[in-house]
Amino acid sequence: MTAMRWDLFCQVIDNFGDIGVCWRLAADLGARGHQVRLWVDDASALAWMAPQGAPGVEVRPWPTEAPPDGPGDVVVEAFGCEIAPDFVAAIARAAGTRSVKPLWINLEYLSAEGYVERCHRLPSPLMDGPGAGLTRWFFYPGFTSRTGGLLREPGLGARQAAFARDAWRARHGVGPQDLAVSLFCYEPPALPALLAELGRQPGAHLLVTPGRATAAVRAAVQEGALPPGGGRGPLALSYLAPCPQPQFDDMLWACDLNLVRGEDSLVRALWAGQPFVWQIYPQHDDAHHAKLHAFLDWLQAPPSLRRFHAQWNGLQDGSAPLPALDAATLQEWRACTQAARARLLMQDDLLTQLLGFVAEKS
């Protein structure tokens, strides 16, 4: 495919999820030879998430109007963010003067719900305003062949195959036989129950990501969720520093169980192939409940994994004991994850599909 100029828009709601997805997309585009302007209203997380930047990717502050050279060949609004009317007007002008009109795409949130297959690739004509006469196209990530797929850069499998898991664990003080659990979460109601369950598992080691996960664990420990010793007894605790995205992948590959949150880390946990539990982004009207159930249905999650998800996400009593994290349970969860990953690997990744869509519409 001929190299193209892309404008990718991201408004940050959750510093790690929104910008994490957009950066992976931008970096993958750049690696495949395209030029990307990533327009973002808060780029602060990129200082640790992508400190070296990426070839072909230019990070720019959120615009009120298009740059002097106009919009790119493809304009992508991530997660329904609204770009400025003056930029929309520039898209309309370019559509009337260029031989190849800019293609405007709304990249939606990830879901396993049925509407995704129905709405994927549908047009949305604009009837009024500065973009009247333009068409914006919906592109939905998803888990089935009738959706846009998931982000997966071409070299991911080879990088994972070359990963030195034992060396990573040794550097982080995790023994070969330890139960290594990563924690990237909001404030799950079942966090004290998790700490109690890990305290019952010999050699358990909890690796806590920075930010809200660290604050939640420290608060739980202060409130007595662990035996005396605050993590220096049966359960070892490590509080991690912020790290670039590839190092986050390393952690997921090295751990025996990953507790993840939001969209980006869910996808990376699936590619990791290890047992995982997802804390879905909570919505005030509880719309996330149906979204979670749809995902677990697609995952073909066993009953113990469904129960853990229900308690972890507050759909059931979070203070009740969680399913035991013994070897048999984790092996069942691992088999489930790896079967799901195998299904996904039979499908094209999101960017490959997106590039095909652009070629079709151009």
HEC profile for 45-108? CHHHHCCCCCCCEEEEECCCCCCCCCCCCEEEEECCCCCCHHHHHHHHHHHHHCCCCCEEEEEC
Domain range holding 179? 156-345
pLDDT in tens, 135-193: 999 999 999 999 999 999 999 999 999 999 999 999 999 999 999 999 999 999 999 99
- Cα(131)–Cα(222) distance, integer angstroms: 54
Out of 73, 113, 197, 263, pick the active-site residue. 263
Looking at the structure, tell me whether residues 352 and 334 fall in a common domain. no
The whole-chain average pLDDT of the chain stands at 94
Please confirm, yes or no, whether 263 is among the known catalytic residues.
yes
Q: Number of structural domains, the chain? A: 2
**pLDDT of the residue at 16:** 80
How far is residue 327's CA from residue 314's CA, in Å, rounded to a whole number? 25
Tokens encoding 219:
């608060």
Given a cut of 50, whether residue 88 has pLDDT beyond it is: yes
Q: Are residues 98 and 211 in the same domain?
A: no
Q: Is 18 a known active-site residue? A: yes
Do 173 and 131 have their domain in common? no
Choosing from 18, 77, 197, 349, the catalytic residue is: 18
pLDDT band at 288 (very low <50, low <70, confident <90, very high): confident
pTM above 0.85, yes or no: yes
* pLDDT score, position 15: 65
CATH of the domain at 243: 3.40.50.2000
Q: 352 and 332, same structural domain?
A: no
Q: Are residues 170 and 135 in the same domain?
A: no
pLDDT for the residue numbered 227? 58
Residues 343, 337 contacting (CB under 8 angstroms):
no
Pick from 134, 139, 105, 136: nearest CA to 119: 139
How far apart (Å, rounded) are the C-alpha atoms in residues 337 and 271?
9
Q: In this model, does residue 230 exceed pLDDT 70?
A: no
Same domain for 81 and 199:
no
Which CATH number is 133's domain given?
3.40.50
Model confidence over 23-61: pLDDT tens digits?
A: 999 999 999 999 999 999 999 999 999 999 999 999 999
Distances (CA, A) of 121 to 116, 133, 282, 361: 10, 18, 27, 11
Say whether both 167 and 108 belong to one domain: no
